[in-house]
Structure 1
Amino acid sequence: MNRPALPTRRRGAVRLLLTTATALALVTGCGGSGGSEATDAKGTKGTKSTGGFPVTLTSAWGTDRVEGEPLRVATVSDGDTSIALALGIVPVITPDVEDGDPVAPYKQRALDELDVDRLKTYDDSDGTDYEAIAAAEPDVILGMNTWDMDADYAKLKPIAPVVTFRDKKHADTLTWQERLKTAAKALGRSEQAEQVIAANREAIRDAAQDNPVLKDKTYTYTVVHPEQITFMSYAEQDPGVFEELGLRKTERAKNYTAAKNGVSLENLDQLEADVLLVTYPFGDEGLLSASELENNKLFRSLDAVRGGNFAVIPSENTLSSAIAYPDALSASWVVEELTPLLAKAARGK
């Protein structure tokens, strides 16, 4: 089934997010096999840094000082690679998160915009490969989207300045915008970061305006995990893109928390909402299959299901994981992919 076309206004905003930084890009010459454009003596193309140096960054593990404009950037997570690409930077080395699988659509689009065939990667199946990162000779190492900095920092710092969290709890609590801005400061790309954030804000605003059917509709978002059906849209859950597009949580959301979010088969009526969204990111390894849940008698009796106000968020194209872990590169693509699903479910049969 073909995905509904985006309104021209929103397509422009989505594309702007991926091209804003590219037009101002710092592209490292050793970042990939593409990039046939001529570069200057520093191996860069586009405009120079917009920030002042040196930059001193204090993290939970120590203090790092970036003396001058970084030209060679290494990353320790896919989210950090997204930050670099969103700012128009091709990392000299990144973890091989795809491991033979197709590149996520939003990342591939960014690579195409930057005229890069593929990224240089290291095998991260046993954790961060410090030797591979050292061999790439980075000027700075991005670690704004990692849970492994306790183990990594002491081994990364001798290689290059490490850009990471000010507080350990920020590994879970920082928004993608905050991560982007912290990294951009160290890279001298604060102006570009603000442009990326503004473009994403425009994409969301346009999507909401183009789909008034979403305004004030209640929603429940549930994920079928291996051990339970999880009520993901609990009261204190970051509302993220759902509520930015006009939806709001149900009254039942207050019954759930991050520590208490399981829904039993006997209580599937707890999922009731104007718009019901389910995803199966673990496939056959989930608690139950899509057909088992969607043929469940109680589930089928829900008004949202009977009225056609039910949608499955696909995991095959990485949409469900991008919703769970938004970053500087995926955020606008999520709006592009998710909005038609939400609007169709909000309209119902």
Structure 2
Amino acid sequence: MRVRAPLTLLAAVPLALGVLSGCGSAAGEAETASGGGATDGAFPVSIEHAFGTTTIEEEPERVVVLGWSAQDTPYALGVTPVGMPSYSYGGGDDGLLPWNEEDFDPAATTLLDNTDGPPLEAIAALRPDVILAPYDGFEAAVYEDLSGIAPTVAYPGEPWTTPWREQTRMIGQALGRTADAERLITETDARVGAIAAEHPEFEGLTFAYTSMGAESLYLYLPTDPRVQLIEDLGFTVAPSVEELGADSGSTFYAQLSLERAADIDSDVIVGFADGLSAEEVAALPVYAGVPALERDAAVLIDDEGFGAAVSSVSVLSIPYVLEQLVDALAVAAQKASS
């Protein structure tokens, strides 16, 4: 069985502030660190993960990636995967996420339908030298099946919680490009840090990352990479988040009863409008007592394209996200402080 992230991860409209179009510049915003190949002496390399240790004996030439955003780091490192996920959510008619369109070559890369888990036959047909899945949620039996096809690097801890920096390092190590991966991390951190410095008003404001619908309410926990990116901009996770999620039984989200909505006490809310527009969610009586919504200090996401972007935190998606998200966060912060 595959552990799935809730698919209420849709793109952005700030409440009462206009619409985030989700159509900013896509590829080309992030720096790439593509050298001439793997570093001398990089192989063999052994990488630890949730199911043990995988040893890659030599530089892989045929790379398959699985899980959200796993293709981004190889592309940024100058490596074209032979197989990568097709994204029905946020990927449009072609199954591609916007920031991958410039790099994707249909003659070189097969899109894989992961709807029901990794498609083992299709993956085997690609004859991969390695399978990389640092941000996924499959269980041990699936890992064993994948390992029967090629050496497989799975996620290192709990499902769907690998921070983007660790994803980048793992893939860089597997491809023999550790130094280039570190350079990508440094450049991305500098970009995020510069934005945080430009917005000192973010510092000290608390936030909650949510998914709000007419019949469901989710709260994302500090282990989720989406939450961590907002923290990197200077915001602080509201104490109510950890209190409400303490007994969730999940590693990265808590499902709350709708009656608990007003207990989400934060200066700002960031998150998803589940199955409705942002305005429709804000108008639902069940959310009338949520403090940040009462102040209009919220950025709710109801467009799939941008929702996929904020849910795929990577060295390529972060510039795409920040270009569209930061101004809305600034307005929400102003509302929270007024």
SS in 1 for 2:39: coil
Q: Comparing both chains, which one has the higher relative contact order based on Cα–Cα distances under 8 Å and sequence gaps of 6 or more?
A: 2
Q: Is the 8 A contact 1:86 1:110 kept in 2?
A: no
Does the 8 Å contact 2:212/2:281 carry over to 1? no
The whole-number CA distance in structure 2 between the counterparts of 1:346 and 1:267 is: 24
Offset, 1:249: 3.0
Query: Any residues of structure 2 matched to 1:139-288 within 5 Å, and which?
Result: 139-165=129-155, 169-224=157-212, 227-232=215-220, 239-257=227-245, 259-260=247-248, 261=254, 266-280=259-273, 282-283=274-275
My pick for the range that moved more, 217-226 or 289-298, is 289-298
Letter in 2 for 1:215: E
8 Å contact from structure 2 (residues 99, 316) kept in 1: no
1:311 aligns with 2:302: no
User: How far apart, CA to CA, are the structure 2 residues paired with 1:305 and 1:60?
Assistant: 39
Q: Structure 1 residues 232 and 110, CA, compared in 2 at 3 Å: closer, same or farther?
A: closer
Deviations 1:7-57 (A, max 9, x none): xxxx9xx956x3323x43xxxxxxxxxxxxxxxxxxxxxx12125212233
Structure 1 window deviating more from structure 2 (307-316 vs 88-97): it is 307-316
**Cα distance in 1 for residues equivalent to 2:73 and 2:295:** 40
SS at match of 1:332: helix
| Structure-2-length-normalised TM-score | 0.75
Shift of 1:343: 0.4
Compare the two structures and name the one with the higher helix fraction.
1
Gaps of 5+ in 1: 5-10, 25-46
Give the AA of the match of 2:319: S
Give the superposition deviation at 1:332: 3.4
Q: Is the 8 A contact 1:78 1:94 kept in 2?
A: no
Q: Indicate the percent of aligned positions where both proteins have the same amino acid.
A: 27
Aligned match of 2:92 = 101
Q: TM-score, normalised by structure 1?
A: 0.73
Q: Structure 1 156/316 Cα, relative in aligned 2: closer, same or farther at 3 Å?
A: closer
CA distance in 2, matches of 1:316, 1:210: 28
Report SS of the residue matched to 2:87.
Answer: coil
Cα distance, 1:277 vs structure 2: 3.0
SS in 1 for 2:47: strand
SS of the residue 1:85 aligns to: helix
- The superposition leaves residues 242-295 of structure 1 with CA deviations (integer Å, 9 ceiling, x where unpaired) of 221111233433431153445555554323433233421x315xxxx7555422
- Give yes or no for the alignment of 1:116 onto 2:105: yes
Aligned to 2:334: 347
Give, as a single letter, the amino acid of the residue that structure 1 aligns with 2:105: V
| 2:67 equivalent in structure 1 | 77
Q: Deviation per CA, 1:113-165: give whole Å up to 9, x if none.
A: x3736742233344322232222222211122222252333333343222224
Q: Secondary structure at the match of 1:318?
A: helix
Is the Cα–Cα contact under 8 Å of residues 134 and 162 in structure 2 kept in the other structure?
Answer: no
1:198 Cα deviation (Å)? 1.0
Cα distance in 2, alignment partners of residues 154 and 267 from structure 1? 40
CA–CA distance in 2 between the matches of 1:2 and 1:93?
35
The alignment partner of 1:147 has SS state of: coil
Structure 1 residue 53 corresponds to structure 2 residue 56: no
User: Mind listing any 5+ residue stretches in structure 2 that lack a counterpart?
Assistant: 1-17, 249-253
Q: Could you tell me how far apart the structure 2 residues matched to 1:135 and 1:237 are?
A: 33
Deviates more, 1:96-105 or 1:331-340: 96-105
Q: CA RMSD in A?
A: 3.5
Quote how far apart the aligned CAs of 1:208 are. Answer: 0.9
Task: Check whether the contact 1:111–1:117 (CA below 8 A) recurs between aligned residues.
Answer: no
In 2, the alpha carbon distance for the partners of 1:163 and 1:253 equals: 32
Are the counterparts in 2 of residues 60 and 165 from structure 1 also a CA contact under 8 Å?
A: yes
Against the structure 1 CA distance between its residues 48 and 334, is the aligned structure 2 distance closer, same or farther, given a 3 Å change threshold? same
SS of match in other structure, 1:57: strand
Change (3 A) 1:221 1:145: closer
Question: For residue 130 of structure 1, what is the amino acid of its counterpart?
Answer: L
